Amino acid sequence: MQGLGRRARAAARQVALAPADKRNAALKAMAQALRERAPAILAANALDLAEAKAAGQKESFIDRLLLNEVRIAEIAEAVASVAELSDPVGRVLATWEQPNGLVFERVATPLGVIAVIFESRPNVTADAGALCLKSGNAAILRAGSDSFRSSTEIAIAMRQGLEAAGLPGDAIQLVPTRDRAAVGEILAGLGGTIDVVVPRGGKGLVARVQSEARVPVFAHLDGNCHVYVHAAADLEMARNILLNAKLRRIGVCGAAETLLVDKACAATHLKPLVTMLLDAGCAVRGDEATQGADPRVTAATEEDWATEYLDRIIAVRVVDGLDAAVDHIERYGSHHTEAIVTADEAAAQRFLAEVDSAIVLHNASTQFADGGEFGFGAEIGIATGRMHARGPVGVEQLCSFKYRVHGSGQIRP
């Protein structure tokens, strides 16, 4: 494992200095290799699937693990599309001149070595490897033991692509063991060779990574997202946004989990919104006022306000004004994504300023919490920490920066 880290560090320096067209050529070659290696990948996947089925894994688990011709083509396409993104490395983020004539530039540079720890989805091997390379970083990928064989075959294609473009194959390495101790070594930083860890998977994994990692982590544990229907909300807009935020996809981190309805519009808005959710097959757990709106509403407990259901369930509460809404979100929320629906611009400004979440939206669905929807092209995850990367983590967020200073012989007085 320590050798893995040293090789990643050496490769990181080479890919950091490689020109964009070389990194892009590698991405295209990877896509090609993935397509060509489809039979080998499918054969490995069949073994992983057989083992998972024998172990009695759930349907949803099997589906995450499953690869087929179409999915491999999609994976290859996703890798190729990363090549089309604009180059994040070397962007001049700021430039200014001091009175002594020194010209300062703040320039984006790769972060270094990024470790990605994931579970059953073997496509992460390709997605994460591609995003790391695009941003000039080396990747150490730790696959879940369930997808180990599939990921190993995908990683071979990634290495082929790197080498075809004249880049070091070690720039994308899969941890070559199912041994669980490897995760602990990665979280300890692998002898100082890892700059950041990105967990991709369920809450158990994220919680372990956040509590054990001795290196920075880009992640979010919960996406307990809120929709606040303000006193001045248009009911029709609130309906559309709420339905989309809660039910477009229930399993994504940007799915709404709690609806807050302002007391001032509860008389007109609460019942239609609650009935709409119930009629759409979403269970509603509400406070007393909400229980009064429809007999199908059950009582919400304190725990409901803090729960990320990822299910066809929503918690609903009537709040007394914007301050109460913000207080509720600060108390129970996870600093991920929250939306206000209102026609009152001043109220929206206050909500966007006062809610301390990575993403705050006015009159739009919380399900826009996604790097693709932000225009980032692709994301490696969404972070709720306040350091370095917050919100969707795309290739620009996988960069650090440095200062270039141009002088003409200046010395400091």
Vertex 250: Cα angle to 268 and 115 (nearest 5): 135
Q: Which is nearer to a second copy, 34 or 340 (CB)?
A: 340
What is the distance between the alpha carbons of residues 242 and 65, in angstroms, rounded to a whole number? Answer: 31
> Closest CB to a second copy among 108 and 156?
108
Output 8 or 241, the one with its CB closest to a second copy: 241
Question: Which residues contact a second copy by CB under 8 A?
Answer: 13, 16-17, 90, 96, 98, 102, 104, 109, 111-112, 195-196, 216, 234, 237, 240-241, 243-245, 248, 330, 348, 352-354, 356-365, 367-368, 370, 373-375, 386-388, 390-391, 400-412
**E strand or H helix at 200, and its extent?**
strand 196-200
Structure tokens at 124: 């992460």
Judge contact between 329 and 308, C-beta under 8 A. Answer: no
Shortest distance (Å) from residue 169 CB to a second copy: 21
Q: How far is the CB of 173 from a second copy (least distance, A)?
A: 20
Choose between 90 and 184: whose C-beta lies nearer to a second copy: 90
Amino acid at 395: V
- Residue closer to a second copy (CB basis): 39 or 407: 407
Min separation Cβ 179 and a second copy, Å = 26
Of 251 and 403, nearer to a second copy (C-beta) is 403
CB of 333 to a second copy, least distance (A): 13
355: nearest Cα among 374, 382, 328? 328
Q: What minimum distance in Å lies between the beta carbon of 90 and a second copy? A: 8
Residue 381 — left, alpha, or beta (φ > 0 → left; ψ -120 to 50 → alpha)?
left
Q: How far is the CB of 79 from a second copy (least distance, A)?
A: 24
Whether the Cβ atoms of residue 144 and residue 118 lie closer than 8 Å to each other: yes
Instruction: Count Cα neighbours of 308 within 13 Å in the Cβ-side half-sphere.
Output: 18
The distance of closest approach from Cβ of residue 126 to a second copy in the complex, given in angstroms and rounded to an integer, is 24
Phi, psi dihedral angles at 249 (to 5 degrees):
-140, 125
For 141, how many CA atoms within 13 A lie in the half-sphere containing its CB?
Answer: 38
| CB nearer a second copy, residue 53 or residue 406 | 406
**Amino acid letter for position 81:** S
Which of 42, 352 has the CB closer to a second copy? 352
Minimum CB separation of residue 413 from a second copy in Å reads 8
Q: Helix axis angle, 345-354 relative to 322-332, nearest 10°?
A: 20
Identity at 348, one-letter amino acid code = A
The DSSP letter of residue 300 is P
The answer to whether the CB of 127 falls within 8 A of the CB of 172 is: no
Q: What is the closest distance, in whole angstroms, from the C-beta atom of residue 312 to a second copy in the complex?
A: 18
The answer to whether the beta carbons of residues 11 and 171 sit under 8 Å apart is yes
Nearer to a second copy, 88 or 112 (CB): 112
Residue ranges of E strands in 212-270: 225-229, 256-262
For 231, the 3-state DSSP assignment is coil
